[in-house]
Amino acid sequence: GTHGMGQNRTGADGADIVLKVPLGTQIFEDDGETLIADFTEVGQRVVLLKGGNGGFGNAYFKTSSNQAPRRANPGQEGIEKGIWLRLKLIADAGLVGQPNAGKSTFLAAVSAAKPKIADYPFTTLHPNLGVVRIGEREFVLADIPGLIEGASEGIGIGDRFLGHIERCNVLIHLIDGTNEDVAHVYKAVRYELAAYADVLADKEEIVVLNKVDALTEEEIDAKVKALKKASKATVRLVSGVTGQGVEQVLYDVLNILDTQKAEADEAERRKIEPKWTP
């Protein structure tokens, strides 16, 4: 703050500095682990540090015996602090799978996003977001780099971006149908999700066998059977290239999102009227 001065002048406080951050930003202490704030709503504000107070002017020291004091306080220094900012994208659904599973092709097929697509692993090097419109509805879909075995131990690059799908309500798990052992591929990705965070392993999941346009009917039947046994879930058949089965997966996402919203609304109502029943 500014120093206090004579002629009844109190020093001005230090000017505010406002840092504007994107929705989804987390603020951590200098240790990189202690969470200070998590911005999940538009308009959220948090005070990290207070600027220095302005010094008192000479009138502050006025007494009955000293009507014209010749002293004033200096302004106080501001506080310094180191912080880390970490962005976690906010999306309704997230695409997961091994490299080259067709995640970027799927995202490009269902939204206006233009991710890089090529026939080699790790084409996607950073997260992509797309707005999916289906019927009169829409939701946000996130695509992250592929996960390989050992990702939770730092192998590959996909684990760097798993935080971006922590906020997703549902995961679309794409398995490349041209893999010989689709059950092993499925289990490997599930292991990496659980090793990163329990919250990812517990999320609702839509299991999708992709690239079925490159398979025979016999191969599809065998791989669906293996995936059902490994995942204990319904397996959707999709081709991101031809569009086969894509719409059904999108409606599956909407159904899950609607169910989760209804459950959240009911839980909120129960807090207000615990004994109310429809």
Q: Provide the pLDDT confidence category of residue 249 given band limits of 50, 70 and 90.
A: very high
Q: Could you give the residue range(s) of every CATH 2.70.210.12 domain in the chain?
A: 1-87
Over the stretch 183-240, which tens digit does the pLDDT of each residue have?
999 999 999 888 887 888 899 999 999 999 999 999 999 999 999 999 999 999 999 8
Reference 105, options 211, 232, 214, 192; nearest CA is: 211
Question: Where does the pLDDT of residue 33 fall: very low under 50, low under 70, confident under 90, or very high at 90 and above?
Answer: confident
pLDDT at 115 over 60: no
The better pLDDT of the pair 152, 266 is held by 266
Nearest Cα neighbor of 85 from 130, 135, 22 is 22
Multiple choice CATH, 93-268, 3.40.50.300, 3.40.50.11540, 3.30.2130.10, 3.60.21.10 = 3.40.50.300
| Distance (Å, whole) CA 86 – CA 98 | 24
C-alpha–C-alpha distance, residues 128 and 113, integer Å: 8
What is the structure's pLDDT at 15? 64
Q: State the amino acid at position 242 in one-letter form.
A: T
Rounded distance between C-alpha atoms, residue 5 and residue 54, angstroms: 10
d(CA 277, CA 64): 71
| pLDDT beyond 90 at 177 | yes
Q: What percent of the chain has pLDDT over 90?
A: 27
Task: Name the pTM for this structure.
Answer: 0.68
Strand bridging mode 25-29 / 83-87: antiparallel
End-to-end alpha carbon distance in the chain: 59
Tokens of 53: 């107070």
118-to-100, 102, 153, 195 alpha-carbon distances in Å:
8, 10, 26, 29
Q: Is 132 in contact with 109 (CB distance < 8 Å)?
A: no
Query: What pLDDT score does 124 carry?
Result: 43
Q: Start-end ranges of CATH 3.40.50.300 in the chain? A: 93-268
Does the domain at 1-87 match CATH 2.70.210.12? Answer given as yes
Q: Residue 34's pLDDT is what?
A: 83
Helix 103-110 vs helix 246-272: crossing angle, to nearest 10 = 80
Cα atoms found within 13 Å of the Cα of residue 48, Cβ hemisphere only: 22
Both tokens assigned to 73: 């306080």
**Does position 108 have pLDDT exceeding 60, yes or no?**
yes
Q: Are 126 and 203 in contact (CB under 8 A)?
A: no
Q: What is the mean pLDDT of the chain?
A: 78
pLDDT of residue 70: 63
The region of weakest confidence among 10-14, 99-103, 132-136 is: 10-14
* 276 class by beta-carbon count within 10 Å (0-12 exposed, 13-18 middle, 19+ buried): exposed
pLDDT, tens only, 56-100: 655 566 666 666 666 655 666 667 778 778 766 678 998 998 888
DSSP state of 174: E
What local confidence, expressed as pLDDT, does residue 42 receive? Answer: 79
Which stretch of 14-18, 29-33, 100-104, 222-226 has the lowest confidence by average pLDDT?
14-18
Per-residue pLDDT band for 125 (boundaries 50, 70, 90) equals very low
> Residue 9 has what pLDDT?
53
- Lowest model confidence (mean pLDDT) among 102-116, 132-146, 171-185: 102-116
Name which residue leads in pLDDT, 5 or 95.
Answer: 95
- Check residue 117 and give its pLDDT: 42
CA gap 206, 188 in Å, rounded: 16
Q: Around Cβ 47, how many Cβ atoms within 10 Å?
A: 7
The pLDDT, as a whole number, for residue 22 is 73
Which pLDDT score, from 0 to 100, does residue 236 have? 96
Name 86's bridge partners. 26
